[in-house]
Chain A
Amino acid sequence: MSKLNLSAYDSKGFYDEMFDENNVVRPNYKLFLDHLKKMSPRKLNQLQHATDRAQLSLGMTFNVYNDNQGVERILHLDIIPRIINNKEWQHLEKGLQQRIKALNLFIQDIYNDQKVIKDKIIPKEMIFSRVCYLKELEGFKPPKDVWCHITGSDLIKGGDGKYYVLEDNLRCPSGVSYMLENREILKRTFPELFAKLDVRPVNNYTHILRDTLESLSKVERPTVAVLTPGTYNSAYFEHSYLAQQMGAELVEGQDLVVKNDFVYMITTKGLQRVDVIYRRVDDDFIDPEVFNKNSLLGTPGLFRAYLKGNVVLVNAPGTGVVDDKAVYAYIPRIIKYYLGEEMILPNVKTYICAEEDDKKYVLDNIGKLVVKQTDASGGYGMLIGPKSTKKEQQEFIIKIKENPRNYIAQPMINLSRVPSVIDNTIEGRHVDLRPYALYSDDIKIIPGALTRVALKKGSIVVNSSQGGGSKDTWVLNS
């Protein structure tokens, strides 16, 4: 039986997570590679196919936006894991804890004292003009002063082998169910490797999540619910998965009513009070009385109950100000301001088109930069300069001139690559990294992550809506 041949594998031109620049395997991948080399291409393919089947049978599917019934896709799981050694992980952990702590202080400040603005660290138009800024929350302090209970920042590793934070997701970060289910599947794919490599477990995430949610309520044994927009939402699998794993109620807006500023579920036996809501519905849709009047996803009166402290919403409303790509550029200064520390995990260099010098640089160098619309996500509203046509660049130049505040630009970063199973062979594909943090009394970083991989050759867009897949992420104890 022929063995897998990796001699044709091309690790040049990018940071490769498995091989160094001399094509020598990195220590964290050594045992894994030994195992891989003993395998035939046929066996590798079998394992990959078994994974696809497992995902279908688990119902790990997502609906593609704007599609009706019938288009359910799985998020392709590539069986070759991303492996991170302990030292690298500790660095990430510290960096994320620092960042989240500062961002939380920042949110509390802008809704209360606004010192950060008075001290001219960030211009006020960066905050108050934004749709994500909720005036209704001015003067409000959430339980334990924590706003961002659940964070899933996107990190990348550049050609220099260093991690950078690409964006923060403080509203409703998704994907954690894939981190958990990917692990369950890979444990079946490579059972012999887990013990040998001493991989840190991730499956206590849902326990910690439940503890986090419960700790925020004043009630003795609080009733916890996950609020979903419903089965047509692309992340519905995750909502139901988390509710089920936590033993929480999975509710839709129509299942809740607010009476005397308390929130209740409509049950077969009457009304039952709800104390903590892990809501996966965006701020704008949670309460038609206050926000989007046409929202059918929310519950009238929910926000009022929240302001009165009769229900806890997780994450707190209003955290979206930090997700704004223009605010991102100020985060190094924000960390310094609140913690008096230098940033441990650097940002990607960001040009703010609202600032005259930066705008000029962006317009002059658009072919070299990645331009992003500040209020878009999911890989949309983006121009990848080096891969774009003149026509596309021209379109973005017009857009930037019309509304500079809506755009930022960053140098093109060559995302690191991990070997991936592509049509019977192994080729390098670009990846990012989304670790998850839970924050109540302290900030816990789960030792694992969702690694997203751009499956198209040469592509650096890892979003699931645009041909991205995923990998399991192994954090080693050594």
Chain B
Amino acid sequence: MLGRVANTIYWMNRYLERAENYARFMDVNFNLSLELSPNEEQQWKPLVVITGDWKLYDSLNTTTEKKNVIHFMAFEKENPNSIYNCIINSRENARAIRTEITKEVWEQINALYYLVKKSSKKKKLNDTEVRQFFYDIKNGCQLLYGMYDATISRSEGWIFARIGQFLERADKTSRVLDVKYHLLLGSANQVGSSLDLIQWTALLKSVSAYDMYRKKHGKLTSTGIAEFLILDSEFPRSILNCLLRTENSIERLCASKLGGNNEAQKRIIELRTQLENININVIIAQGLHEYLDNMQVKLNKVSTAIYNDYFSKERLMH
């Protein structure tokens, strides 16, 4: 497979995963905001902070209101990570590698494209329309994952697609946990007050983890939730699970690779081993924020190593 094509597939899937995550974050937050006191800044600012785009938001907006945040994360053309731009980029990438995907996948990604184009043109979306939009994005992306799974051959392209998806997912889970965890602990109430329970539930729901967490742990505790989202090996959106599957994918690449560097493999094994040998209490004692921050840096390094090992032109120019 062409290096450029592999790179494009990788990013196509990262953008898709990102768009789906954003839609879910916002949908859950929206739902939550209906039952809480109307302090919009307190409710909506953390969402922007999670995405790492607070600076940009601040430069484009004077207030932190629900409608501004939603616009910024969903439709803002200046925001390279808005759902709008994620879908546009994902579809543009898909267009560039049209020969690697099936008609089903292409038509679905194209449908998402027309969905964001149409929605972004509307002057003002009312609450019902906004939620419908989030629902359509989530559903559309998940439909796409299903089609991908059901129609694409398990060759190299598939592997790069999965790697992109898992790395993006691990990154987003770490970010949402980082921001929300501190906010919730900072609110002084013990876990257990009705207000807090709603918030912790929301955190789990924003990564679709509520049902699986309840099934496994039953009771909601802050430590239990952090453990579940970082160290659970079975839940498909936990960081460890994403790392395990990334590692597995890279292993399959290496098996078919003719010599060359395996920097990416080395890094992913290191990171996964480290997670398997740490206890949640240790993480919290050392500082959850620092831990997750460091995690995001390491995930980026895996991504860079994949670029150097498989996509770049330079590796072959000697």
Contact = CB atoms under 8 A, between A and B. Distances in A.
Contacts of A266: 2-4, 313, 316
Given A57-B110, A57-B111, A59-B110, A268 B99 contact: no
Contact of A270 (B5, B92, B110, B258): B258
Interface in A251-289: 251-252, 254-255, 257, 265-271
A268 B3 contact: yes
Interface string B1-32: 11111100000000000000000000000000
B124 interface: no
* Of listed B88, B98, B99, residue having the most chain A CB within 10 A: B99
A249 B2 contact: yes
A205 to B, nearest CB: 17
B284 interface: no
A267 B1 contact: yes
* Of listed A240, A249, A269, residue having the most chain B CB within 10 A: A269
A9 B146 CA distance: 50
Given A250-B98, A266-B313, A269-B256, A57 B2 contact: no
A241 B3 contact: no
A394 interface: no
Contacts of A57: 107, 110-111
Given A249-B2, A268-B6, A240 B99 contact: yes
Contacts of A270: 258, 260, 316
Interface in B85-117: 88, 92, 95-99, 106-107, 110-111, 114
Given A265-B2, A266-B3, A254 B257 contact: no
A269 B97 CA distance: 18
Interface of chain B, main secondary structure: helix
Nearest to A244: B99
B96 A58 contact: no
Given A56-B110, A268-B311, A243 B99 contact: yes
B4 A252 contact: yes
Contact of A254 (B97, B99, B110, B313): B313
A23 interface: no
Nearest to A249: B2
Contact of A240 (B6, B92, B95): B95
B134 interface: no
B270 interface: no
B310 interface: yes
Contacts of B6: 268
Contacts of B3: 255, 266-268
B293 interface: no
B156 interface: yes
Nearest to B160: A268
Given A266-B316, A270-B316, A254 B4 contact: yes
B313 to A, nearest CB: 6
* Of listed B5, B106, B111, B260, residue having the most chain A CB within 10 A: B5
Contacts of A338: none
Nearest to B310: A268
Contact of B98 (A56, A241, A265): A241
A250 B96 CA distance: 9
A59 B95 contact: yes
Contacts of A111: none
A7 B98 CA distance: 46
A231 interface: yes
A29 interface: no
Contacts of B114: 56
Contacts of A244: 98-99
Contacts of B95: 59, 231, 236, 240
A268 B156 contact: yes
A231 B99 contact: no
Nearest to B257: A269
Contacts of A271: 316
Contacts of A268: 1-3, 6, 156, 253, 257, 310-311
Contacts of B257: 268-269
A69 B96 CA distance: 14
A190 to B, nearest CB: 22
Contacts of B2: 249, 251, 255, 265-268
Contacts of A243: 98-99
Nearest to B313: A266
Nearest to B259: A270
Contacts of A269: 1, 256-258
Nearest to B309: A268
A256 B98 CA distance: 19
Interface string B287-318: 00000000000000000000000110100110
A397 B5 CA distance: 51
Nearest to A245: B99
* Of listed B2, B111, B311, residue having the most chain A CB within 10 A: B2
Contacts of B5: 250, 255
A107 B316 CA distance: 39
Contacts of A251: 2
Contacts of B258: 269-270
Contacts of B107: 57-59
A266 B258 CA distance: 14
B118 to A, nearest CB: 11
Given A56-B114, A59-B110, A269-B258, A255 B4 contact: yes
Nearest to A236: B95
Interface string A37-57: 000000000000000000011
Contacts of B253: 268
A233 B226 CA distance: 49
A170 B260 CA distance: 44
B45 to A, nearest CB: 31
Nearest to B110: A59
Contacts of B256: 269
A240 B110 contact: no
B302 to A, nearest CB: 16
A59 to B, nearest CB: 5
A231 B8 CA distance: 12
Contacts of B313: 254, 266
Contacts of A265: 2
Interface in A57-91: 57-59, 69
9 contacts: A59-B110, A231-B95, A231-B96, A251-B2, A268-B2, A268-B6, A268-B253, A268-B257, A270-B316
The 5 closest A-B pairs by CB, nearest first: A240-B98, A244-B99, A268-B310, A250-B99, A243-B99
Interface of A: 56-59, 69, 230-231, 236, 240-241, 243-244, 248-252, 254-255, 257, 265-271
Given A231-B96, A269-B258, A271-B316, 18 more contacts: A58-B110, A59-B95, A59-B107, A69-B88, A231-B92, A236-B95, A240-B95, A244-B99, A248-B99, A250-B97, A254-B4, A255-B2, A255-B5, A257-B316, A257-B317, A266-B313, A267-B2, A268-B2
